[in-house]
Amino acid sequence: MKGTDEPLEKLSRRRWIKAAGMVGLCALTGGSRLARAAPERLRIGLTPVFLDDQVSFLERWRLWFERRLGQPVSFVQRGNYREVVDLVRQGKIDFAWVCGYPYVRYRREMRLVAVPLWRGKPLYQSYLIVPADDRRSKSLLDLRGEVFAYSDPDSNSGYLYPQYVLAQAGENAASFFSRSFYTWGHRKVVEAVSVGLAAGGAVDGYVWEVLNETAPELTRGTRVMARSPLLGHPPFVARQDMPQAGYEHFRRALMGMASDAEGASLLGSLRLEGFTDASPGLYDGIARMVSRVSRA
């Protein structure tokens, strides 16, 4: 062959090796680009839910999110609000369903995404409950010197509201009850009051109403003694540095749940009608309670 003294057989073998190497390089670089293009896993924080079959429900919800978002999804569950809120603030999870109380406290460190619609409104109440056979107690002030059950120190309905009631009455919340304790779940507050472990408790009214429908054996041992004013329902929030495209994509998925057959079924399990837009002003009532309790 002109221009080389190498035999044709050796030259062909060299070209084959070079071509094979180029194919391998293309495969490696192409695979690398595909790996980089693969969607990242979305992390959604949750505190314990009240459903009896929550494992099955959460798996259905996870798969629904994956189909709607087109990317892997993981639920990150913790036993209290503080841990979930800290994960959002630190950017270790992308979204979370939190309470209005920590949202008000840390609203500069997270972004409001959407709020549930329950009974047609993005609102709910704190319920103050007592044992069903207690017909004497009419207000929280009637439980002086008794044992009281809170749900979580970062819960609006399960902690902040009774603290606010006592502050408004000029009472010292630290010494008003003979003893108080945290159950780390609204359902467990209902159970504690029902079986007589506490003479009273503070619970999410939405949770109590759903339990009254789905597990009346738990609520029939309690009586709703008082209700708070209507307050902003616990919202979905995003980490502060969540990219706008990802934020909007997730928000649209939540807002579209009610118009999707499987999404509507999931909402039905939660006894919700859907999710809606909300402004931070929805939580002004909680902010006022935070301010009053902090002064006390």
Q: Quote the number of domains for the chain.
A: 2
Domain CATH code at residue 114 = 3.40.190.10
Say whether both 207 and 186 belong to one domain: yes
Strand-pairing partners, residue 181, are 149
Taking only the tens place, the pLDDT of each residue in 256-278 is 999 999 999 999 999 999 999 98
**Per-residue pLDDT at 217:** 94
Say whether both 178 and 242 belong to one domain: no
**Per-residue pLDDT at 55:** 86
Weakest mean pLDDT among 12-16, 253-257, 291-295: 12-16
Say whether both 104 and 53 belong to one domain: yes
Residue 104 lies in a domain: yes
Instruction: Give the Cβ contact number of residue 197 at 10 Å.
Output: 16
Residue 295 lies in a domain: no
Weakest mean pLDDT among 37-46, 65-74, 216-225, 271-280: 37-46
Say whether both 133 and 217 belong to one domain: yes
Say whether both 132 and 275 belong to one domain: no
Rounded CA gap, 293 and 162, in Å? 10
Enter the pTM of the model: 0.84
Say whether both 140 and 96 belong to one domain: no
Rounded CA gap, 254 and 97, in Å? 12
Say whether both 215 and 238 belong to one domain: no
Domain that holds residue 167: 126-228
Say whether both 224 and 130 belong to one domain: yes
